[in-house]
Chain A
């Protein structure tokens, strides 16, 4: 970046944080990553929750929390999560209600966590 003699050091930093704030507002995934890297814990709005959450991470915790994140989603959104995380094929999801899809998401994510978690730790 070329040096701008018209800006002070504080103004440079302000510009940087302004950009960061703008990006964080529109990108909950990045926001979640940055907050996590800083050791923080932020509660995100429902519509952002499913997008930033990992079904594997949630399935390894309380079932109620899992359902609080995914239970409110519509069928296409749940299908997207199932597909993105390789937890179901289109064939598997055909004809399923949203409730059945969430159950499938929970059962399969829990099973994978159980199968893949090292028993040594």
Chain B
């Protein structure tokens, strides 16, 4: 496994003491629900299994950061010197690789997790290395500088991957799962993110356009990053509208095109989820039931299925702490 080693911090909980699993949430196609999947999965793993989750948002659109921290929170984080763009600045300045100072330790939106923490009984937690729109400008600046010195996109992504590996290494002892929210293209930054990941979560939508994008992504990753992609790939059909056409595409994805992959539950299109991803304020909290309403069963199944996938990859087992 390529992930970051973690030490045994809580022997009572099965799965602790195992190497942290790093999962890239990625697809070439935009708008397939990568950020929503990242947040739902983080909430599900923290809530049902008490996992300590770190989200690393490498997408300059900063949507998962926005969903967890709000727009104001993203800006406040940047003002405090936190964020992936700051880490990229460290790389550009040639400073030592260490992501820890740029992480927002609290990205929890669920009331149950907040209350448990308040009572000194942490039962699941979420932190984030947030993104910021500045990340796009900084990445462009880096690319210009790199290519002026006769570098190439491949050498840049290799250098970034090595830097990230060092920068994220100490985090393995603090978190159970690291979710890397990748941008919907193959920039050097995105490629570096993919290169340091153990597994790949591919959200997609049951239509022909997304199926095509998923195929391209799958082929690229298989060729350049993970020849053993099928066994490291967790596919999730999102924003599912229950029509005959969508059912047919979903079936084709599961039974034909990606039949050698792990599949999560199909997540229905939901207004409730859209609302849930629009946090009212940085100090706003909601119960799991209030946040996810009618799709809370889907979030639970997502967490269960992904935990099974993790167990299969790591050999560890995880016990549910909430129903």
**Which A residues contact B (CB, under 8 angstroms)?**
86-92, 107-108, 111-112, 115-116
> Which stretch, B21-29, B55-63, B277-285, touches the partner chain A?
B277-285
Residue-wise, chain B 258-285 has the 8 Å CB interface mask toward A (1 for contact) of 0000000000000000010010110011
Expressed in whole angstroms, the minimum distance between the Cβ of B180 and any Cβ of chain A is 25
In the A-B complex, the 8 residue pairs with the closest CB atoms: A115-B71, A89-B286, A91-B111, A86-B278, A87-B280, A92-B284, A108-B281, A91-B285
Residues of B within 8 A of A89 (CB): 280, 284-287, 290-291
Determine which of A91, A107, A115 lies in contact with B290 in the assembled complex, contact meaning CB atoms within 8 Å.
A91
Closest B residue to A107 using CB positions: B281
In chain B, positions 264-323 with a C-beta closer than 8 Å to chain A are 275, 278, 280-281, 284-287, 290-291
A92 to B290 alpha-carbon distance, docked (Å): 11
Question: In the bound complex, do residue A86 and residue B280 qualify as a contact, i.e. CB atoms below 8 Å apart?
Answer: yes
Question: In the bound complex, do residue B281 and residue A91 qualify as a contact, i.e. CB atoms below 8 Å apart?
Answer: no
**Which B residues contact A (CB, under 8 angstroms)?**
70-72, 75, 111, 275, 278, 280-281, 284-287, 290-291
Question: In the bound complex, do residue A108 and residue B280 qualify as a contact, i.e. CB atoms below 8 Å apart?
Answer: yes
A91 to B290 alpha-carbon distance, docked (Å): 9
Closest B residue to A111 using CB positions: B72
A64 to B291 alpha-carbon distance, docked (Å): 33
Question: In the bound complex, do residue A115 and residue B70 qualify as a contact, i.e. CB atoms below 8 Å apart?
Answer: yes
A111 to B279 alpha-carbon distance, docked (Å): 12
A87 to B279 alpha-carbon distance, docked (Å): 8
Q: List 26 contacting pairs A-B, 8 Å CB cutoff, sorted by A.
A: A86-B275, A86-B278, A86-B280, A87-B280, A88-B280, A88-B281, A88-B284, A89-B280, A89-B285, A89-B286, A89-B290, A89-B291, A90-B286, A90-B287, A90-B290, A91-B284, A91-B285, A91-B287, A92-B281, A92-B284, A92-B285, A111-B72, A111-B281, A115-B71, A115-B75, A116-B71
